[in-house]
Structure 1
Amino acid sequence: MDSNELEKINNLLDRDVELREKIKEQVNEMDKKTRTIIGILNRIHSTPLDAMPALLDSVRPVLLGCRDTTSALAAIIPRNQFWRWKDLWSNSIRTAIFAALLIEYLSTRGLLTIAEAAETLGIREEWSDRMTLPVEDYLHSLISLVNELSRLAVNAVTLGNFEEPIRISIFVKDLFAGFSMLNLKNDTLRRRFDSLKYDLKKIEEVVYDVSLRKLAEVPKES
């Protein structure tokens, strides 16, 4: 290998190292925001129902601040290199999407679609070759949402909110049914989906206890 070829290779390696460091800087910024978001959202387990809107209002601006990071990443990732670099920020994006899904559920008892979740983080369609929201990351975030809701079902009862476990049960059963119809080929995703059965069982036990004690009316399944 001649010296010119070696120099070209070294330049390419240096360029990759420089780009990786720039990406890591942005990911670190997002991680700071998601840590703040998760810290605030952890309070939902000790927040009465009437105080929940104020808590969610306090976290929304921090979540929307993640748009600065996705925009910065889209600006520095070379065209058609999304899949080469995505592993550097996948966990950060999943955490942010999980937070968006949880805020939506607590606000409306509804579910953000993948397109709505991407929009929340300011991810644009025209960035698809540099920055996008893969289906796998969205599904991982959904599973994290169910994990958190199973915990909330228990803590809501402690706070005297006996209707919440029932709402959570209906929501999670619908999600579980949807997941069951997917052809999951990602091993990690499939294993995490299998764990949802335990979350669902935990929620059903809370609903059964609420029903048995006649603390809230459980709708009959059709």
Structure 2
Amino acid sequence: MSSNHIINTIFGEFQKNLDQEQEIREVIRNICKDVDQISRETTTVLQVIHHDETAIPAACLKARELFEKANVGYNKLKEVVPSGDYYKYQDHWRYMTQRYCYLISLTIWLEKGLLATHETVAAILGISAEEQKEGFHLDIEEYLVGLLHLCTELARLAVNSVTHGDYNKPQQISKFVMELNAGFRLLNLKNDHLRKRFDALKYDVKKIEEVVYDLSIRGLLPKTENA
């Protein structure tokens, strides 16, 4: 067998693999496009929290319905992405998943005032929370970035709540974000993007502290045990 034939055979296999990978990427892109659109719709739905507190329950209910649609999309991704190639294709859904982590965490905080755990977010999206259990999973770093986006949104909500005469919510937000901040400080963050996002958290904390302080010196804080 000539060397030319061997080379043609080898590179023919390379091209076959490249074509298969390109087909998978195209399917993934189409699925992510649809799922990402749902996340944008959810973001729009939840913006009502900044100008109409009475509409929050309905917004959370609508967000839950949209999360169910996203769940279907993530299950399609699970079927398409080869079990051993999660990180090979991760860039297609990385930022979309970070947004969902933020949106789900925000919805649960609005509903219950609690932190949405990594396992809870994964369950709502219909994917595994354990990296070793299944190929497609909720990466911990994506979840943490989502929580940092949540803190930024809550800092904005603290300001807008005061504008609408709700002086209790900034205290609630302050306690929650302070606890999250303490938790993040326990981590040794090596991911550049995650570390930069964490560096921005101090500005969110400062903004919330200023809101609570201003309410305090004006005597506007509700007279409660927490206060």
Shorter-normalised TM range? over 0.9
Percent of aligned positions that are identical: 36
Q: Is the 8 A contact 1:34 1:92 kept in 2?
A: yes
Q: For residues 74 and 24 of structure 1, what CA distance do their matches in structure 2 show?
A: 13
1:142 is paired with a residue whose SS is helix
Size of the alignment, in residue pairs? 221
Match of 2:221 in 1: 216
- In the TM superposition, structure 1's runs of 4+ consecutive aligned residues that sit over 6 Å from their partners are 218-221
Is the 2:154–2:173 contact (alpha carbons within 8 Å) kept by the matching residues of 1? Answer: yes
Q: 1: distance between equivalents of 2:135 and 2:73?
A: 13
2:75 corresponding residue in structure 1: 71
Q: Is 1:207 matched up with 2:212?
A: yes
1:81 aligns with 2:85: yes
Instruction: Verify the 8 A CA contact 1:154 1:165 in the aligned structure 2.
Output: yes
Correspondence for 1:191? 196
SS in 1 for 2:212: helix
TM-score normalised by the chain length of structure 1 = 0.94
Larger CA Rg, structure 1 vs 2? 2
The structure-2 alpha-carbon separation of the partners of 1:194 and 1:70, relative to structure 1 and needing over 3 Å to count, comes to: same
User: Post-superposition shift, 1:64?
Assistant: 1.9
CA distance in 2, matches of 1:218, 1:182: 35
Residue 2 of structure 1, CA deviation: 2.2
SS in 2 for 1:2: helix
In the alignment, is residue 34 of structure 1 matched against residue 44 of structure 2? no
**1:46–1:155 CA contact under 8 A, matched in 2:** yes
Q: What TM-score results when the alignment is normalised by the length of structure 2?
A: 0.92
1:176 alignment partner in structure 2: 181
Distance 2:142 2:120 in 1: 14
**5 Å matches for 1:11-22?**
11-22=16-27
* Root-mean-square deviation (Å): 1.9
Counterpart code for 1:2: I
The one-letter code of the counterpart of 2:171 is I
CA drift at 1:188: 1.5
Shift of 1:57: 1.2
